[in-house]
A and B are shown apart, each in its own frame.
Chain A
Amino acid sequence: MTTSNPAPPPPRRIRISLKDRQFAGLFWQIVVVGITVAIVAWLWSNTVHNLSVRRISTGFAFLGREAGMPIADTWFPYSPKDPYLRAFVVGLANTLRVAVIGIVLATILGTIIGVARLSSNWLLSRLAAVYVEVLRDIPLLLQLLFWYVLMQGLPAARAAWKPIEGVFLSNRGLILPSVPIEAGQLWVIGAAVIGLIAFHVVRKQLTARQLLDGRPRRIWPYALALVIGLPMLTSLALGVSWTITKPELRGFNFVGGLTLAPEYFALLIALVTYTSAFIAEIVRSGIQSVHRGQWDAAMALGLRRGFVLQHIVMPQALRVIIPPMTSQYLNLTKNSSLAVAVGYQDIVSIANTTLNQTGQAIEAIAIIMLVFLTISLGISLFMNWYNARIALVER
């Protein structure tokens, strides 16, 4: 490329020769696309032929048929008489249930470990380092099987461990006390969300006013009124009852309460601990990427170490932390598909069973791809939005 050429090059015609850059570019593109199309067409024709030989009709009509597949662990009403479509929805809900809770817990645990890794306490930082190294270097599937075996080795329901009153740990899983969610509770939760949003708006305005005249404003009365007062008022007005149902042992199983099945619990623990090791490393390198001078300056002002970490270092470290964190969240979501190894019925497991029952291989795989590409896109969009929000604002 002659960048130092002062005059613009004269318009030229394409020569039919591989030495000509433009022609060569066009030529190779046609060749590559041609080969790709030929391969895909060949695979497609084979597939169509094979499917017709096996009398499998393509299309998504099978989604309306009765699934006949039991799903043990679900938070949705479901019976084997329901159609495949509903089974897929339940599977998707199961995937999201483990992924969302897993992401939240892994972030918390990972941040704690990452900060501990940088602690000035030698013992603490060594322990955190060992945790990270051990968990990172063992395959997740092996860890999952390990947790599952441990789960099965727990005592039977009758001899369940009771770490706290109302909480049981046995080979039936973890059983927690719960509050039954009905229409009234949903209204109160809605009020709490509205209160949070309103509080966020008020806080923004108060901060803006404080920036104008420098007088500090009191925030806590608003927090009290909006975040706590509003839901409480709603609860009182609607007369919602908040009785906690404690699980009870009846015969061989528990009645009442919230049950985390051993499959779900093992998967959650495996995903959270495994991913937290990676998140810890991201948090550590993020904190280390903040310039030493920031620490020195803050310490010179006489601020406490925790305060410096929370208000000065972390906001700057977040900019380095967020992009790799996004890919860890995506990894956790994709890894949740290992559920099939312990028999937790997530979307991949349901699609696999469907595939074996109906032979609708292409459709089943297409559904898996669609679901995961959508989830990936969703997480990416959210993290990009968050990243833009915390990005450095140059003044």
Chain B
Amino acid sequence: MTSVTDAPGTPLPFSRSRSGRTIVGRAIGWLRINLFASISSTIVTLLLLFVLAKAAAGLVQWAFWNAVWSVPGSDTSACRAVHGLGACWAVIPEKLRFILFGTYPFDQQWRPALAMLAFMALFYVSSRRKWWRKELVLVWAAALTLIGLLMWGGIFGMPFVSQDRWGGLPVTLILATFGLALGFPLGIVVALGRRSKLPAIRSLSVLYVELIRGVPLISLLFMASVMFPLFMPDGVNVDKLLRAQVAFVLFAGAYLAEVIRGGLQAVPRGQHDAADALGLSYWKKNGLIILPQAIRHVIPPLVNTFIAFFKDTSLVLIIGIFDLLTTAKTAIIDPAWQSFSVEVYLFVALIYFAFCFAMSRYSARLETQDGPKAR
């Protein structure tokens, strides 16, 4: 990782922080330093203000002033009338349930909704430092089981719903969460394997990581959807979603392994020697001494990998699995709403953004609070 000497966002040593006395004076001082420091800076500011004002005016007109917020029934003539001039937000409430839950039986959609809440609770609990204990693994196992029960059903009077009817945000969350939960142990094993002194194990780990990282994710997904059936013996039929999930676990394992390997390299040699001197076995040494330190070192890059991975789940669109992006794209196939895809894409982009932005803020906070320098 690059070492950043200044905190992110610190201005270069040109903006003097000299402040006036009164609030107005201080504001003017701030403006002069930050917006009108020199002739070129003033020109840039004025130019940007001009462009921003024009863009904002256009955006407000399109998104609010001329926008249609609701239409009676499925009659989109009001939307068509303003097409190109104003947004048709009416498409969002009309298609919301489909975008969020796909073709899940309509009267049972409280189940994926609850599963989503369970995911949120799980993410929240896992992000708190005080709950980073061994018991967290049990919490994860329990939560993932609960989510599976809710989605499949078949007990407690909930009718069974097979996974080809799952869709929308729960599928995105399932692909990402299960991929990471299973890819993480795999990544640890491969990272250890890559630093092993045993040549056969080391080369197998290198081969795995480089092969997976060398090819685009799409080709892995094609493999999962087209080649996986060829690999299996006669009569074994693995569901499409599960095949994609396997591809994601393998993919996550390779990328996480590289991040964890970086952490392993940052653990000083003396820690290995001390653990060896205590006579600890290989697994005890790594499990109790090395890995806890290594993972602590790489928490911010790990979260960045999680973000990338969360975004990458959208690629299942190409092999026809109904995740959030696919349901959005399918929702606007409806001829009545066909020409309002921009609105739907913006809405879905907002959902993805909310998740990724939350994670990236969290990572930035960890970096300042909990980085190697803070301790």
Contact = CB atoms under 8 A, between A and B. Distances in A.
Interface in B314-372: 314-315, 317-318, 325, 329, 341-342, 345-346, 348-349, 352-353, 356-357, 360
B311 A372 contact: no
B46 to A, nearest CB: 10
Q: Do most interface residues of chain A lie in helix, strand or loop, or is the interface mixed? A: helix
A346 B348 CA distance: 27
B222 interface: yes
A92 B102 CA distance: 36
A367 B311 CA distance: 26
B11 interface: yes
A372 B216 contact: yes
Given A124-B44, A295-B13, A138 B200 contact: no
A63 to B, nearest CB: 18
A289 B2 contact: yes
A136 B215 contact: no
A137 B360 contact: yes
A121 B44 contact: yes
Contacts of A36: 204
A123 B4 contact: no
A124 B48 contact: yes
Contacts of A121: 34-35, 37, 41, 44-45
A119 B42 CA distance: 13
Given A51-B230, A140-B311, A338 B353 contact: no
A335 B314 CA distance: 13
A141 B315 contact: yes
B37 A337 contact: no
B226 A288 contact: no
A129 B357 CA distance: 13
Contacts of B201: 28-29, 32
Contacts of A335: 216
Contacts of B307: 136-137
Contacts of B5: 288-289, 291-292
A361 interface: yes
A164 interface: no
Interface string B31-70: 0011101000100110011001000000000000000000
B349 A142 contact: yes
A118 interface: yes
Given A118-B11, A138-B349, A334 B222 contact: no
A280 to B, nearest CB: 12
A286 B1 CA distance: 11
| Most chain B CB neighbours (cut-off 10 Å) among A25, A288, A348 | A288
B341 A142 contact: no
Q: Do most interface residues of chain B lie in helix, strand or loop, or is the interface mixed? A: helix
B120 interface: no
Interface in A106-137: 118-125, 127, 129, 133-134, 136-137
B219 A348 contact: yes
Contacts of B353: 134, 137-138
A163 interface: no
A46 interface: yes
A334 B48 contact: no
A369 B211 CA distance: 8
B12 A295 contact: yes
A23 B226 CA distance: 42
Contact of A139 (B2, B44, B352): B352
Contact of B2 (A153, A324, A341, A355): A324
For the complex of A and B, the 3 pairs showing the least CB-CB separation, nearest first, are A137-B356, A122-B34, A337-B216
Interface of B: 2-6, 8-15, 33-35, 37, 41, 44-45, 48-49, 52, 84, 197-201, 204, 211, 214-219, 222-223, 226-227, 229-234, 273, 276, 307, 311-312, 314-315, 317-318, 325, 329, 341-342, 345-346, 348-349, 352-353, 356-357, 360
Given A141-B315, A145-B329, A337-B218, 15 more contacts: A47-B230, A122-B35, A123-B48, A124-B45, A127-B52, A288-B5, A288-B6, A305-B14, A334-B216, A341-B318, A355-B222, A369-B219, A372-B214, A372-B215, A373-B214
20 contacts: A29-B201, A33-B204, A46-B231, A49-B234, A120-B33, A121-B44, A124-B44, A138-B352, A141-B314, A142-B349, A145-B341, A146-B342, A146-B349, A149-B342, A295-B12, A338-B315, A352-B222, A355-B222, A368-B215, A368-B222
